[in-house]
Amino acid sequence: MKQLNLVVITVCFLLVLGCNSDQGDRAATHNFKQGVGELGLSFLANSPPDKIYPGSNFRMIIKADNQAAYDLTEGEIKIIGLEEKYFQLGEVEYSFDTLQGRSLYNPQGEHIFIEFSGKAGTLFENAREYIGNYFIKANYISSLEFADTICINPDFYSVYDSGCTVEERRSYSGQGAPLAIVSMEEILYPAGVGAEVEFRLFLQNMGRGTVRSITLGKHHLGGKELSCQFQTDEPNKRFIGLNEEKQEAIIVCKAFVKDQNSYTTTLAVDFSYSYEFKEQQQLRLVNPNYSGGFV
């Protein structure tokens, strides 16, 4: 009896901790702009079915679920590479303007269901089966916001400073997008009566797809605008194009500080980027009359 009471008390205690009934309160304290989140694509059960028979109609229903902390815009989802002789789809492309990201008002992120309808053809010489390989390709534009509180100490020569301590290097686990700032370096140079502070931000693709390009948005240190540019050979230093092999970029931001004492302030930089990912999939056309038996 005592032990049963113990079990009941324990379960109640855990329920109080574990149950997520008040999503609003929890959401209010949750920072969505951390870690890695991106667009997820998955098929609904039996859409398409595991086996499709010749001459039959079928549907492919894709759930596009935005798990990033930012809205996705100008999105496109395509089915590429299905042989029409075996699987003929009415439409092979779907576009969306905006798919909302995870936020206080939408903690789960927005998701949509995309339906592609098709008709199966006939098998080559009544073969046992045909495997139709294809790609699903998704591309979209999204954004990334980076903000961190940093310490700036322009006084190189003081032995003791009661203010903050400069961290020369910091690591991050992501800002809620597939593209992430993974680390930052802070370097201070003496410059006349003040100092020049340089921030090197290292961007990296942490998602499953490919970053096509990154464009620099706003960039501030405290209330002042920074001077930022990508380390690239391209003439426009606010833009960088990437390829599948190179999925990293470095952006360098500089500012001149006049203050003598150390202080903390906020560094904020945002970006927009174009992203693409492709997945291999299969459809299976099966001969129901194959003399080898049930397939």
Binding site for other proteins (CB under 8 A): 3, 6-7, 10-11, 14-15, 17-19, 30, 35-36, 78, 80-86, 124-130, 133-135, 137, 173, 206, 210, 243-244, 278, 280, 291-292, 295
| Of 31, 64, 68, nearest in space to 178 by CA | 68
Residue pointed to by tokens 């667009």 = 39
| Of 180, 161, 162, 179, nearest in space to 171 by CA | 180
Q: How far apart are CA 37 and CA 174, in angstroms?
A: 9
Please report how close the Cβ of residue 255 comes to other proteins at its closest, in angstroms.
Answer: 26
Please report how close the Cβ of residue 235 comes to other proteins at its closest, in angstroms.
Answer: 19
59 vs 278 by CB, closer to other proteins: 278
| Of 15, 63, 59, nearest in space to 41 by CA | 63
- Largest distance between two CA atoms of the chain: 90
10 vs 98 by CB, closer to other proteins: 10
196 vs 276 by CB, closer to other proteins: 276
Please report how close the Cβ of residue 115 comes to other proteins at its closest, in angstroms.
Answer: 21
| Of 138, 272, 269, 102, nearest in space to 210 by CA | 138
30 vs 218 by CB, closer to other proteins: 30
Please tell me whether residue 209 adopts helix, strand or coil conformation. Answer: coil
81 vs 222 by CB, closer to other proteins: 81
Please report how close the Cβ of residue 11 comes to other proteins at its closest, in angstroms.
Answer: 5
Q: Which amino acid is at 203?
A: L
Q: How far apart are CA 98 and CA 289, in angstroms?
A: 46
Please report how close the Cβ of residue 125 comes to other proteins at its closest, in angstroms.
Answer: 5
Please report how close the Cβ of residue 259 comes to other proteins at its closest, in angstroms.
Answer: 27
Q: 294 is written with which tokens?
A: 């049930």
36 vs 255 by CB, closer to other proteins: 36
> What is the chain's alpha carbon radius of gyration, rounded to the nearest angstrom?
27
